[in-house]
């Protein structure tokens, strides 16, 4: 009998997962899994527990929002780098945004997400590491996005109805309201054999088809297992014409323009004279003036829908 560890955040989203725990456990038990359950009670719980115990299990199923999943992945990746065996990862999304679940096509319905766990297939998936300082000290991992600058909170504060109606444009229209408060950062960015040095108001390193509920914002050709991130850097607009160019470029996902850089790379370095605040999967990543981001290709196996079956 395969062993499954269920880690869930009872306060994720609207707390609806609390009403579904019995159903989840009953269905997983009926499917033949030997279950252990751990509800989180404070920040860091999921990461610590996953690191200490994940190697004892065949499956680890996380339920909560993007932050809960981020914690579980941090624990699993720390275990992996420590030479431990890590289990297959399942996810029942129960947060407000659930970006990574959208990218993996995992249903938001608890009932259908359980179907995926029981009948789905493994997908090797890239995970990002976030290192800081000249010594490149490991600071943490992220599943779908590391970002800095002007719009890092816009994605999570823009009403979902607005996103649904006008899509990617909503991201920047909401951001325009804040332009008077935006300040640029002078940053040197290095990837492959390329170095960019400029004033940027926003930067995003992503491994996702959805960021902050905006689907398609990272471009049309996003792969979660190719060892490369999608990176977007937005220069500081000098006038309204340049601002409009930025908006048009993002909506149409054009290639590099005079105001926007869009590239793919497995390792990206950022260097600035001042500390810049970052977010990792929508959570605070701290303020740093030197950052190195690496893509750990196909680091974890995540259970996703079997497209030969019908998951809604």
What pLDDT score does 213 carry?
45
pLDDT along the chain (312 residues), means of 10: 94 75 94 96 94 98 90 97 97 79 87 95 96 94 90 54 50 56 89 95 82 52 85 82 68 64 94 94 90 97 83 49
Whole-angstrom distance, CA of residue 10 vs CA of residue 122: 26
Is residue 21 within 8 Å of residue 52, measured between CB atoms?
no
Q: Which two tokens stand for residue 40?
A: 């989180």
One domain, residues 225 and 103: no
One domain, residues 58 and 145: no
One domain, residues 141 and 260: yes
What pLDDT score does 163 carry?
46
Q: Which of 85, 119, 153 is the last residue of a domain?
A: 119
Is residue 242 included in any domain, yes or no? yes
Look-up of token digits 């504060």 = 157
Taking each helix axis as running N to C, give the angle between helix 45-53 and helix 66-81, from 0 to 180 degrees, rounded to the nearest 10: 30
Is residue 239 included in any domain, yes or no? yes
Is residue 16 included in any domain, yes or no? yes
What pLDDT score does 229 carry?
92
What pLDDT score does 67 carry?
84
One domain, residues 110 and 227: no
Q: Which domain holds residue 212?
A: 129-297
One domain, residues 41 and 20: yes
What pLDDT score does 96 carry?
66
One domain, residues 112 and 181: no
Is residue 229 within 8 Å of residue 207, measured between CB atoms?
yes
Whole-angstrom distance, CA of residue 145 vs CA of residue 208: 7
Is residue 306 included in any domain, yes or no? no
Q: Which two tokens stand for residue 136?
A: 């490149």
One domain, residues 182 and 99: no
Is residue 31 included in any domain, yes or no? yes
- 109 exposed, middle or buried (CB, 10 Å; 0-12, 13-18, 19+)? middle
Using only the alpha carbons of the chain, give its radius of gyration: 20
One domain, residues 279 and 133: yes
One domain, residues 288 and 153: yes
One domain, residues 189 and 245: yes
One domain, residues 162 and 251: yes
- Looking at residue 223, which CATH number applies to its domain? 2.60.200.40
- Measuring CA to CA, which residue among 6, 12, 55 is closest to residue 35? 6
Is residue 9 included in any domain, yes or no? yes
One domain, residues 143 and 269: yes
Q: Which of 99, 119, 139 is the last residue of a domain?
A: 119
Across 79-94, b (16+ Cβ under 10 Å) vs e yields bbeeeeebbbbbbbbb
Beta bridge partners of 293: 130, 268
Q: Which of 88, 119, 150 is the last residue of a domain?
A: 119
Cut 0.95: pTM above it: no
- Looking at residue 31, which CATH number applies to its domain? 3.40.50.10330
What residues have CB less than 8 Å from 12, skipping those under 6 apart? Answer: 63, 64, 65, 67, 68, 94, 95
Whole-angstrom distance, CA of residue 223 vs CA of residue 304: 14
* Number of separate domains in the chain: 2
Other Cβ atoms closer than 10 A to 193: 5
Is residue 305 included in any domain, yes or no? no
Ramachandran angles phi, psi of 277, nearest 5°: -75, 130
Is residue 291 included in any domain, yes or no? yes
List active site positions: 283
**What is the DSSP code (8-state) at residue 142?**
E
């Amino acid at each position: 009998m395969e062993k499954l560890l269920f880690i869930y955040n009872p306060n994720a989203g609207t707390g609806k997962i609390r009403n579904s725990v019995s159903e989840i456990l009953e269905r997983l038990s009926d499917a033949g899994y030997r279950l252990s359950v751990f509800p989180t009670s404070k920040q860091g719980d999921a990461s610590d527990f996953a690191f200490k115990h994940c190697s004892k299990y065949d499956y680890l199923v996380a339920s909560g929002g993007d932050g809960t999943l981020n914690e579980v992945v941090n624990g699993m990746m720390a275990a992996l780098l420590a030479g431990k065996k890590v289990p297959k990862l399942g996810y029942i999304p129960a947060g407000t945004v659930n970006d990574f679940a959208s990218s993996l096509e995992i249903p938001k319905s608890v009932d259908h997400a359980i179907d995926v766990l029981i009948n789905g297939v493994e997908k090797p998936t890239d995970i990002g590491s976030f290192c800081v300082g000249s010594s490149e000290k490991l600071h943490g991992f992220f599943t779908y996005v590391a970002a800095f600058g002007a719009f890092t909170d816009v994605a999570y504060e823009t009403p979902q109805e607005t996103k649904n109606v006008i899509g990617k444009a909503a991201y920047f229209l909401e951001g325009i309201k804040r332009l008077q408060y935006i300040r640029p950062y002078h940053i040197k960015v290095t990837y492959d054999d390329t170095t960019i040095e400029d004033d940027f108001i926003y930067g995003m390193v992503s491994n996702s088809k959805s960021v902050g509920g905006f689907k398609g914002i990272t471009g049309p050709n996003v792969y979660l297992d190719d060892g490369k991130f999608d990176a977007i850097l937005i220069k500081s607009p000098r006038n309204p014409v340049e601002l409009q160019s930025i908006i048009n470029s993002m909506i149409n996902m054009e290639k590099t323009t005079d105001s926007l850089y869009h590239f793919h790379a497995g390792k990206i370095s950022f260097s600035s004279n001042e500390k810049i605040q970052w977010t990792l999967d929508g959570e605070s990543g701290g303020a740093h003036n030197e950052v190195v981001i690496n893509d750990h290709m196909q680091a974890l196996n995540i259970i996703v829908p079997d497209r030969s079956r019908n998951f809604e």
